[in-house]
Amino acid sequence: MKIAIIGAGYGGLAAAYDLKKAGHTVVLLESADHVGGLAAGFKEPHWDWSVEKFYHHWFQSDDAMLGLIQELGLRDKVIFPRPLTVMYFDGKFYPFDSILNALRFPGLGYGLNKIRFGFVGLFLRMTNNWRALEQVTADAWMMKWAGKQVYERMWKPLLIGKFGPFYRDVNMAWMWARIKARTTRLGTFEGGFQRFSDLFAEQLRVMGVEIRLGTRVEAIRRSQAARLNVDGELFDQVLVTSSPALLAKMSPELPENYLRGLLELKSMGAVVMTLTLKHQLSEQGYYWFSLPKEAGFPMLALVEHTNFVSSEHFGGDHIIYAGDYLELGHEYFSLTDQELLKRFLPALKRINPKFEPDWVKKIWVNKTNYAQPVPLANHSKNIPAIQTPIEGLYFASMSQVYPWDRGTNFAVEIGRRAAKIMMEKS
Q: Could you report the per-residue pLDDT of 288-304, keeping only the tens digit for each?
A: 998 988 889 999 999 99
196 and 68 within one domain: yes
258 and 223 within one domain: yes
What would the mean pLDDT of 347-369 be, rounded to a whole number?
96
Which CA distances in Å does 310 have to 97, 274, 348? 20, 16, 20
Task: Give the residue from 120, 146, 179 where a domain finishes.
Answer: 179
Mean pLDDT check: name the lowest of 177-191, 206-220, 302-316, 330-344. Answer: 177-191
pTM summary value: 0.93
Q: Which is more confident, 183 or 125?
A: 125
66 and 215 within one domain: yes
Residues in contact with 1: Cβ distance below 8 Å, sequence separation at least 6, in sequence order: 24, 25, 236, 237, 426
Query: Residue 288's pLDDT is what?
Result: 93
* CA–CA dist 337, 344 (Å, integer): 11
- Give the 3-state secondary structure of residue 126: helix
> Is there a domain that residue 347 lies in?
no
* Percent of the chain at pLDDT exceeding 90: 82
State the Rg of the chain over Cα.
22
Query: Residue 83's pLDDT is what?
Result: 86
Is the confidence at residue 99, as pLDDT, over 80?
no
What would the mean pLDDT of 30-51 be, rounded to a whole number?
96
For residue range 265-283, list pLDDT tens digits in order. 999 999 999 999 999 999 9
- When the pLDDT of each residue in the chain is averaged and rounded to a whole number, the result is 94
Domain count, the chain: 2
Domain that holds residue 222: 2-72+192-265+383-424
The candidate with the shortest Cα–Cα distance to 13, out of 244, 238, 241, 194, is: 241
| Neighbouring-strand partners of residue 269 | 326
Q: What angle do CA 70, 74, 80 make, to 5 degrees?
A: 85
CATH number at residue 417: 3.50.50.60
End-to-end CA distance of the chain: 7
Query: Residue 24's pLDDT is what?
Result: 97
Query: Residue 41's pLDDT is what?
Result: 97
> Is there a domain that residue 158 lies in?
yes
Cα-flanking dihedrals φ and ψ of residue 87, to 5°?
Answer: -120, 150
174 and 223 within one domain: no
> Is there a domain that residue 92 lies in?
no
Is the confidence at residue 352, as pLDDT, over 90?
yes
> Is there a domain that residue 124 lies in?
yes
Where residue 224 falls among pLDDT bands split at 50, 70, 90?
A: confident
Query: Residue 145's pLDDT is what?
Result: 94
Task: Give the residue from 127, 155, 179 where a domain finishes.
Answer: 179
202 and 63 within one domain: yes
Q: Burial, 98: exposed, middle or buried (Cβ in 10 Å; 0-12, 13-18, 19+)?
A: exposed
105 and 62 within one domain: no
